[in-house]
A and B are shown apart, each in its own frame.
Chain A
Amino acid sequence: MKATIERATLLKSLSHVQSVVERRNTIPILSNVLIEAASNGCVKLMATDLDLQVVETLSAEVDTPGETTVSAHMLFEIVRKLPDGSQIQLSAADGKMLIVAGRSRFSLSTLPRDDFPVINESELPTHFALPTESLKQIIDKTRFAISVDETRYYLNGIFLHVLKNGEGVMKAAATDGHRLACVTVSCPAGAEDMPDVIIPRKCVVELRKLLDECEEEIKISLSASKICFDLGHAILTSKLIDGTFPDYTRVIPTANDKLLKVNPKALMQGVDRVATIASEKTRAVKMTIEPGKISLSVTSPENGMATEEVPGEYDADHLDIGFNARYLLDILGQIENDVAEIHLAESAAPTLIRDSDQSAALYVLMPMRV
């Protein structure tokens, strides 16, 4: 194999590829990136952690087609440190890969290509295309709520499903058991009969990195166990979480009759300020809501107390309710309008937060007992 690639192109692709590779591996070949040079001037870079696989295609000057695998992090570090604008020549032979750029030469040990595990991309019966903007919205608005609790592995991802009642909507949801984020988009053609899937967090994170430089539409194909995103220059394939996502629609309150309208930025700043006092482990903020104003307060036995008033539109009965400041900030940070709607019922009941009844995203937050 022998190919020459422009540094910037190689660096960008490698940065995507190497983040899939885990830092420490028990199987040596998983540390490596597979480099495939084809005679048509295409070089493919591929990396996997056995659950997630990314393939990047870039154009290069290929002298001799061929393939090899080298350490992904090592190659990335080398390319990153090479001077901008340099042409990088990769040539592999006899278990070594030679990297030459200007006056630098590196010789890396390789592993045979045949050992490299590849996730089978065939047998994905459902195909549809989703606008890039919709996919971005789904990820941005829900991923903060993805659980990190490994014991409930079925919450470690974004749940994507299509309502089977013919309304033509696709819904994405994520929860960690304390809060829920849910986004509704219109169902793309071809997805009507798709199975319900849970996309793992690592796939979501890597996908989001790739989305910024993508075209109009992302082609998605999936089965009950695998999903594949075709982004043009890159293809991301991931196994799905094999589990049942809880019926989250039941926890979305529908009868919360106390409506509070408030400027999300003002509320965020207020919460952030008073939460300074809170102990780092609990971060409980108490909201006392009365017509015309919200009082935020935090009391810490060690540090003292803080209160702040935030104006808000409210005409129901007086209500005291506590929230985890971090959760509240996460959700308020997602509100795009100047007004956030907070639907409350009582101090122990789930609270619904959203931009307006027209908005695609909605959030449910469980209060704290303070």
Chain B
Amino acid sequence: MSIRRLPEDVINRIAAGEVVERPASALKELVENAIDAQSTRIAIRLIKGGLDGIEVIDNGIGIPMDEMRLALERHATSKLPENDAIEAVTTLGFRGEALPSIASVARLTLESRTSKSDSGWQIIVDNGQFEKEGIAALPKGTKIKVDSLFSRIPARRKFMRSAKSEYMACHDIVRRLAMTRPDIGFSLEHDGRRVFSLNAGETRQRRVAALIDRTLKDNSVPIEYQRDQMYLEGVASLPTFHRGLADHQYLFVNGRPVKDRLLIGSVRAAYHDLLAKDRHPVLALFLTLPGSDVDINVHPAKGEVRFRDANAVRSLIVGALRESLDLSGFRSAQPADVQAMGKWQKSSEASIETTSSPKEDALHESKSSVSDSSLLFKAKSPDAVRPHSFSAKRPSPSTSDLWSAAAQSSLPPMGRNTTTSPSETSEQTDFPLGLARGQIAATYIVAESRDGLVIVDQHAAHERLVMERMRRALENGQVTSQRLLMPEVVEMDEVSCDLFEQRQDEFAALGLETERFGHEAILVRATPAMLGNCAVKAMIKDLAGEITAYDQSLLLKEKFDHIVATMACHGSVRAGRLLSVAEMNALLREMEITPHSGQCNHGRPTWVKLGHKDIEKLFGRS
């Protein structure tokens, strides 16, 4: 067979193999086009998970009639500037491949109208073959309909999963894109059912919470951080708000949803001492950096990017997350968990109407706190932030005055340890965790704060405080390492050895001294003294595995933390010990000034608050 140039429709079908592998990828291209067309409202309709039909309607600039046929040609785009500078691309697409690719594997109906023209124009292309064109009636914008995807490509069709799982993939794509643009309204309909509808012009935190989990809004910290030319913003959950799967972690680079293991590693690094190993935070991070520092043209689907300086990006993400979490201080998931409240309320006769209104109040409150906090984060002053983070929990002044007056006059002190003097009561407004009123079951401290009732798990809280103190001591102290009598040779494949070798200075700083030993082995000369007589081989292999998977290794630090945590556990106040009021107050005050004291070492909260609103709800008074 002689060599020949392939016909255009075959080329398109080959390109479609890269760009369009399932309905979700076709949908992604179409929605990205809609976003690039400066739309403010995008409606998406799916039939049978997109297998039987995808429809994307936007109100963007539209395509002029005379350019519509060109738009369906390969490598035809309006998105590249005249000088063809791919590096300077600001739109989501730019390759000019999506439409012809989709058109080559499905029946595509393209209807569009620009603001200048009086009527719309329609083109129908069936599996790469022009079918017909004519006038169409539609408002300004573009409407694209894709039916019978892959109907002429049985090989592809055979590999489609169920409509349900194709729908899940489509939903995920729309969710990611909707997160990037809170300024655009999105609606998604599946088989005639409205899945979600988001208004244009929402705040990012609200949009993200709406798409992931409504309760995230009250359990997250906003992130806003700039370093050199890189700018990171987004939402990260508090350590007490976590999931068993790392599925709700989103990274967006220059407005583009990206899947990158860099994110997984950075998130783990930022949360590693706050969460148990098998729990994962929920977050959405939006990274903006100059186009010259990132290469998006790695794959036609643009799901991967390459950073020129991956380490700088990682340290930015870790730094931003740590700082925001540090500033959240002693906050834990609160107010009291909705579910827990629900259980409590079952017995009471509170009606549904009464429970819904205070909830909304709470939402507004925390929303206002969010805007405050972003300003404060820019100021980067820890002193300024402390008062802020509890001001968020303060209800309107009038209620609190009434309440504290009531507390002083009519509430008798409770708990056997209480020796509250009037002067203390008047001071209570100064403390976010309130003043200790007593102990329950010799395990929980009950404190009264200005805006509610605070319950603290004394062991979890003290353990965390002791651990933070010990860790600080450890960081300031010198690392000791025990040299081995007979250096241990650990054999691994060459790639792992290379990666390990690159990091050996980092490990040496932690007391693990290694050197390369031939092509496929690492020689261990000394181990961290804290680990005692440890199983060297297993540890080195675990470390290498972690580097391969996440590009970094926290394992050694985690091992140290584990030892510190065990020591902290032994050195802290146990449940069942009676505490005096002075002791309890000292504990509460220390929690207020210690970062990360809001959760124990496993991500459980160390304290919960029952706000006045919650208490009123319990009694059906609101």
Contacts and interface: CB of A to CB of B under 8 A. Distances in A.
Nearest to B470: A302
B532 A281 contact: yes
Contacts, number: 76
B529 A251 contact: no
Interface in A158-208: 175-180
A345 to B, nearest CB: 12
A300 B567 CA distance: 15
A368 B480 contact: yes
Interface string B464-499: 000000100110111111111110100000000000
A276 interface: no
A240 to B, nearest CB: 21
A281 B567 contact: yes
Interface string B443-480: 00000000000000000000000000010011011111
Interface string B506-540: 00000101000000000000100110111101100
Interface in A331-370: 348, 350, 364, 366-370
A301 B477 contact: yes
Interface in B524-578: 526, 529-530, 532-535, 537-538, 563, 567
A149 B474 contact: no
A283 B481 CA distance: 11
Interface string B276-292: 00000000000000000
For chain A, the bracket of interface size reads: 20 to 34
Which residue, of B478, B482, B563, has the highest number of chain A Cβ atoms within 10 A?
A: B482
**Interface-central residue, A176, A301, A370, by most chain B CB under 10 Å:** A301
Contact of B480 (A178, A364, A370): A370
Interface string A143-159: 00001110110000000
B481 A177 contact: no
B165 to A, nearest CB: 43
B480 A301 contact: no
B537 A151 contact: yes
B428 to A, nearest CB: 34
B548 to A, nearest CB: 22
Contacts of B529: 281-284, 324, 368
Contact of A180 (B470, B485, B513, B567): B485
A177 B535 contact: no
Given A151-B535, A301-B474, A368-B481, A251 B486 contact: yes
A246 interface: yes
A147 B488 CA distance: 15
Interface in A194-227: none
A251 B485 CA distance: 7
B485 A364 contact: yes
Contacts of A324: 482, 529
Interface residues of B, number: 28
A178 B533 contact: yes
Contacts of A367: 483
A179 B482 CA distance: 10
B484 A366 contact: yes
Given A149-B533, A282-B529, A302-B473, A366 B480 contact: no
Contacts of B482: 178, 324, 366, 368
A322 interface: yes
A165 B153 CA distance: 80
A281 B532 CA distance: 7
Contacts of B533: 147-149, 176-178
Contact of B538 (A148, A151, A300, A348): A151
B429 to A, nearest CB: 35
B484 A281 contact: no
A301 B483 contact: no
A284 B484 contact: no
Given A282-B529, A284-B529, A301-B473, A369 B480 contact: yes
Contacts of B476: 301
Nearest to B538: A151
A366 B563 contact: no
Q: Which 6 A-B pairs have the closest CB atoms?
A: A301-B477, A366-B483, A151-B535, A301-B473, A282-B529, A284-B480
Given A281-B529, A281-B567, 8 more contacts: A149-B533, A178-B484, A280-B567, A281-B563, A284-B529, A299-B477, A364-B485, A369-B513
7 contacts: A149-B534, A177-B533, A248-B486, A299-B477, A301-B476, A302-B477, A368-B483
Interface of A: 147-149, 151-152, 175-180, 246, 248, 251, 280-284, 299-302, 322, 324, 348, 350, 364, 366-370
